[in-house]
Structure 1
Amino acid sequence: MSAGDCGLFGPDSVTWRVHREPMVTVGGLRSLYLQALHPRAVAGVEQNSRYRQDPWGRLARTSTFVTTVIYGTTEEAEKAGLRVRRLHARMTAVDRRTGERFRIDDPELLRWVHVTEVESYLSAVQRGGLRLRPEEADEYYREQTRAAALVGLDPATVPDSVAAVDAYYERMRPQLELTVDSAATGIFLTMPPLPYGLGLTPVRGAAFSVSALAIGLLPPWARRLYGLPGLPTTDLVTSVNARVFGRLLRKVPIEWIESPARKRAFERLGLRN
């Protein structure tokens, strides 16, 4: 391992700019609401995951994977991707609508999860105040095809621009619906159990506010699938709230919320925050 290995992206990448923003956390939550609208994607999670019993452990593992891919060395990122591919290769689930068994590593499902994640990260940080030129937003998607390859996708099949992502959503919308699994997942995401008795404290209200912001950041068509308002006024109010919340989060010292992977990357490359 080279001491100066920048990994898949590096400090000059748009990816590092996007993921420095604390609003990516809200984007991650937004992506889960989107993913749950794909009947097979949500069935795969429901039938193979213990997220209801250990939601915060699941969150920590997902966060570790994402930050390793972004900030880890090339070797660390590739090993993280290999672990995920091996895990998914052993998993199957049953489509409750048809009774058909399917593989979790079906490229269609992997692509849906990837696109909803990266689009949600980008949408959240931009509406939270990060200014990117159109070509920089496109570059972010192009960079993220490297992450898509790690989980087993052919980069050539992954949307790699704002226009391509928009077109992908248009193609996917007829396949999306609110199932029993997706409704249950949406409720769980909105009111998850909090550890250490925090559910009986003001933290519950703060957590609900973050969930409400993530829901508000959804595309109007996704909110309508959940039976929620898809009006332009909702987008306007959410954008104002996101900008205020993003500004508040940027006042938090990076050292307080910095991931271990990012800290190691800065030390490895001799960078300063």
Structure 2
Amino acid sequence: MTTSAPPRVARLRARLLTALAGDPTGMAPYVRALADGDDAGYFVENGPAWTVHAGMGTLVAGIRALLLQALHPGALAGVHDWSRYRDDPIGRLTGTVRWVITLTYGSTTQADAETARVGRFHQRVQGEYVAGDGSARTYTAEQTDLVRWVHLAFTDAFLRSHEAYGGSIPGGPDAYVADWATAGRLMRVPDPPLTEAALRAEIDGFLDRGELRRDERVDEVVRFLKKPPFTGMMGVAYRVLFAAAVATFPPRIRRMLGLRRSWLPVKTATRLILRATERALGSGPRAQDMARLRLRRLQG
């Protein structure tokens, strides 16, 4: 005899799965479609990208990536001018999650189609911003330095968050950076970094050249990310995850964002939250399971 989850837990699970996969069951149409396709995709089964993106540390990484991206005034201008994150934070999140999941676990055809979908939106994103040196500049979402910064911020966020709150990575940190460089190339990032040291050097280069800055727009994003419109258990859990993201930044980045490490025992609290979240999500099929169905079919 099986028993259903208590209503409170069921509601929390539905909200989490809606945020993570765009569907309260976790099986949005694009997730189910991962079982289709005619090849293994760009990323090897159980390899670095598969492992990192399946880990619960991704909940921390998403917050961290948005905070780090905000420090580039060009990248932030695109978000400020074109994103609906203030009105629909869940919708903004699910769009990004769809891209990550499809590239990581989909066939090459599915990954290419998803990249094209994002690219079509980016073609419309353009405007003006004040650069780190105070000069006025124009931007487009396809601009090389902006696309590069977003790739660096994403890679660093998922790597650091998995190292702090996840498990081991097949081949180690360098293997993940090199693996996810494939996503950078798909998004037309020229020569993305292939090692952890190269990744750190590039981020430090943006800082040293004065290309990053804190202004009122950064403060607005930080305030929103610090306390988005989540209530109840989800709101409490999110505050811990935000503190966890902040704790993974080096002091130089925290100072630029105007943030301090929490007085909470962040690592312990985060692991408890992630463990509870994993239990709430249950053991049902997920994106990687749909991908494995495709792989087993292709293997005959």
TM range (shorter): 0.7 to 0.9
Partner of residue 60, structure 1:
94
Deviation of 1:245 after TM superposition, in Å, equals: 4.7
Deviation of 1:229 after TM superposition, in Å, equals: 3.4
Partner of residue 154, structure 2:
117
Label 1:83 to 1:208 Cα distance change in 2 as closer, same or farther (>3 A).
same
Query: Which of 47, 71, 83 is the equivalent residue of 1:49?
Result: 83
For 1:27 and 1:2, the matched residues in 2 are separated by 28
For 1:212 and 1:117, the matched residues in 2 are separated by 18
- Native 8 Å contact 2:122 2:142 kept in 1: yes
Q: How does 1:37-186 map to 2 (within 5 A)?
A: 37-96=71-130, 97-132=134-169, 135-154=171-190, 156=191, 158-173=192-207, 174-186=210-222
For 1:16 and 1:122, the matched residues in 2 are separated by 12
Label 1:129 to 1:76 Cα distance change in 2 as closer, same or farther (>3 A).
closer
Label 1:78 to 1:3 Cα distance change in 2 as closer, same or farther (>3 A).
closer
Query: TM-score, normalised to structure 1's length?
Result: 0.84
Deviation of 1:103 after TM superposition, in Å, equals: 1.4
Deviation of 1:269 after TM superposition, in Å, equals: 1.8
Partner of residue 52, structure 2:
18
Query: 1:80-111, CA deviations, whole angstroms, 9 ceiling, x for partnerless residues?
Result: 11122222122212114544322121111111
Partner of residue 295, structure 2:
269
Partner of residue 31, structure 1:
65
Label 1:229 to 1:189 Cα distance change in 2 as closer, same or farther (>3 A).
closer
Structure 1: state its 5+ residue gaps: none
Deviation of 1:152 after TM superposition, in Å, equals: 1.9
Query: 1:117-143, CA deviations, whole angstroms, 9 ceiling, x for partnerless residues?
Result: 11111111111141247x521111111
- One-letter amino acid of the structure 1 residue matched with residue 246 of structure 2: I
For 2:289 and 2:36, the matched residues in 1 are separated by 17
- One-letter amino acid of the structure 2 residue matched with residue 121 of structure 1: F
Deviation of 1:70 after TM superposition, in Å, equals: 0.2
- Native 8 Å contact 2:105 2:291 kept in 1: yes
- Native 8 Å contact 1:3 1:269 kept in 2: no
Matched, 1:255 2:283: yes
Structure 2: state its 5+ residue gaps: 1-34
Q: State the secondary structure of the residue aligned to 1:204.
A: helix
Deviation of 1:10 after TM superposition, in Å, equals: 2.2
- Native 8 Å contact 1:128 1:247 kept in 2: no
Query: 1:188-232, CA deviations, whole angstroms, 9 ceiling, x for partnerless residues?
Result: 1111123xxxx3x343222222212212222221111122337xx
Deviation of 1:251 after TM superposition, in Å, equals: 5.4
Deviation of 1:253 after TM superposition, in Å, equals: 6.2
For 1:131 and 1:236, the matched residues in 2 are separated by 25
Provide runs of 4+ in structure 1 moved above 6 Å. none
Q: CA RMSD in A?
A: 2.6
Query: 1:235-262, CA deviations, whole angstroms, 9 ceiling, x for partnerless residues?
Result: 9954454455555556566635x64x33
Q: State the secondary structure of the residue aligned to 1:175.
A: coil
For 1:236 and 1:13, the matched residues in 2 are separated by 34
